[in-house]
């Protein structure tokens, strides 16, 4: 029998126990504790942003960020079809509609097609952009940094500014990804748009069990984010609420885990890179297989590894390979079902989607935990060689 190798599990080996114990000893377990503020401060310092506002999870962060960005009922929001469904759902929570975009070579939103869509399929009037087919106002775009790969944002920013389309980055998978080139060089993914969102779900590069963060340089957005994620209290002694708020703030116990995890983030980034290189060396020499490359304009966090399968050369397809790994107790996952094909979103507009479908059919995500051992990677590679 083999030891099971999971796809992506956290590594809890730092000060997590110590900081959580401190919360429990002091009986500060809910969202009012000092670790929540400290986690926000440390995330802001790490990413170089002015404000970080903690949320219960990345989906809630996206929901609030889109609301702050001005997305209203009946609007349209541009989003890639190839992504975990959370940003698409967040758009729908606001009764807006997604406009689905295709993917580029790095699984990210295809910026060229997006610009082409904005230029050819929308009109600009009275300070806003309208989709000509549906008549809907395109109020925002959600570039998702898929698998930690930085989206080519540099090319998008000017057009979005000209067209008054607010950029809300989904950086839930890209904590630690930093741009190296262009105007955004030196900036972290999630800190370039007006608002950015992180996730600390259990499978992410650092975790709080469940958690998220809104990043912004804008004081008004930051104040409003804190206000609506804490039930929109205008007077927190007399319980006066002038708006509809949400109970979306992270708890102290979760934030304590986050502070401890953050202390190890640079080490995790190093491990992700080392493991990626070991995989790459082994995989790229197998005919018909390729470990997906990452864009050279950023130092990517290499959160998730994407194995690309050319069935004509390799002999078996993604589904067959997944079953084979399953028999070997190695957990793998196909890329998410494309969102323009998901039941709730089938009627929504999609713009010339081709590559996303190809990537979806030919990609398998393979184990990427920071606790992955070199021998385990060798075992995975030898499975691929023998199949
Ligand atoms: C691309 C993407 N967006 C949003 C989310 C939502 O984050 P959470 O699970 O913290 O709600 C996730 C992951 O879970 C994700 O992968």
Residue closest by Cα to atom 7 of ligand 1? 58
Instruction: With beta carbons less than 8 A apart as the criterion, state whether 143 and 169 touch.
Output: yes
pLDDT in tens, 153-162: 999 999 999 9
- Which ligand 1 atom minimizes the distance to the CA of 61? 11
Decide: 295 in ligand 1 pocket, CB within 6 A: no
Exposure string of 178-188, with b = 16+ CB inside 10 Å and e = fewer, is bbeeeebeebb
Domains for the chain: give ranges and CATH numbers. 16-262 (3.40.640.10), 266-386 (3.90.1150.10)
Kindly report, residue by residue over 165-201, the tens digit of the pLDDT: 999 999 999 999 999 999 999 999 999 999 999 999 9
Residue 111's CB: how many other CB atoms inside 10 A?
18
- Here the tokens at position 374 are 């070199």
Report strand pairing: 76-80 vs 138-141. parallel
In eight-state DSSP terms, residue 5 is: B
Ligand 1 centroid distance, CA of 200 (Å)? 8
* Closest alpha carbon to 156 in 140, 134, 171: 140
Of the candidate ranges 32-36, 115-119, 380-384, the one whose mean pLDDT is the lowest:
32-36
What is the Å distance from ligand 1's center to 84 Cα? 7
β-strand partners of 366: 305
- Hey, whose CA ends up nearest to atom 1 of ligand 1? 84
How far is residue 370's CA from residue 202's CA, in Å, rounded to a whole number? Answer: 12
Q: Enter the pTM of the model.
A: 0.98
280 within 8 A of 46, measured Cβ to Cβ: no
Query: Strands 289-291, 298-299: parallel, antiparallel or unpaired by DSSP?
Result: unpaired
- Are 64 and 228 within 8 A, CB to CB? yes
C-alpha closest to that of 344 among 93, 146, 121: 93
Picking from 196, 200, 118, 198, the residue whose alpha carbon sits closest to that of residue 155 is 118
**Percent of the chain scoring above 70 in pLDDT:** 100
Spatial separation of the C-alpha atoms in residues 233 and 70, rounded to whole Å: 20
| 201 Cβ inside 6 Å of ligand 1 | yes
Of 103, 198, 201, the residue with max ligand 1 atoms within 8 A of its CB, to mutate for a pocket test, comes to 201
């Amino acid at each position: 029998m083999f030891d099971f190798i999971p796809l992506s599990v956290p590594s809890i080996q730092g000060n997590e126990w110590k900081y959580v114990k401190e919360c429990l000893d002091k009986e500060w377990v809910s969202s009012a504790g000092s670790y929540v503020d400290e986690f926000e401060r440390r995330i802001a310092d790490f990413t170089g942003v002015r404000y970080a506002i903690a949320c219960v999870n990345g989906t809630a962060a996206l929901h609030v960020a889109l609301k702050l960005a001005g997305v209203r009922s009946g609007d349209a929001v541009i989003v890639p079809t190839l992504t975990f469904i959370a940003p698409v759902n967040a758009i729908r929570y606001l009764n807006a509609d997604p406009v689905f975009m295709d993917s580029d070579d790095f699984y990210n939103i295809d910026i060229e097609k997006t610009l082409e869509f904005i230029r050819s399929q929308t009109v600009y009037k009275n300070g806003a952009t309208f989709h000509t087919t549906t008549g809907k106002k395109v109020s925002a775009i959600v570039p998702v940094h898929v698998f930690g790969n930085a989206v080519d944002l540099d090319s998008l920013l000017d057009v979005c500014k000209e067209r008054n389309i607010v950029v809300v980055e989904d950086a839930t998978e890209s904590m630690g990804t930093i741009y190296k080139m262009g105007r955004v060089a030196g900036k972290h993914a999630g800190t370039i748009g007006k608002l950015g969102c992180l996730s600390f779900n259990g499978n992410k590069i650092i975790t709080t069990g469940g958690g998220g963060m809104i990043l912004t340089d804008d004081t008004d957005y930051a104040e409003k984010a804190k206000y609506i994620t804490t039930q929109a209290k205008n007077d927190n002694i007399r319980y006066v609420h002038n708006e509809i708020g949400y109970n979306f703030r992270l708890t102290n116990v979760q934030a304590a885990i986050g502070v401890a995890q953050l202390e190890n983030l640079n080490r995790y980034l190093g491990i992700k890179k080392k493991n990626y290189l070991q995989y790459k060396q082994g995989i790229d020499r197998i005919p018909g297989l390729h470990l997906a490359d990452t864009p050279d304009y950023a130092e990517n966090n290499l959160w998730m590894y994407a194995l690309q399968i050319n069935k004509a050369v390799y002999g078996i397809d993604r589904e067959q390979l997944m079953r084979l790994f399953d028999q070997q107790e190695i957990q793998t996952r196909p890329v998410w079902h494309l969102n323009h094909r998901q039941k709730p979103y089938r009627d929504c507009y999609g713009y010339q989607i081709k590559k996303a479908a190809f990537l979806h059919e030919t990609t398998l995500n393979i184990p990427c935990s920071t606790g992955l051992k070199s021998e385990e990677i060798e075992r995975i590679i030898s499975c691929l060689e023998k199949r």
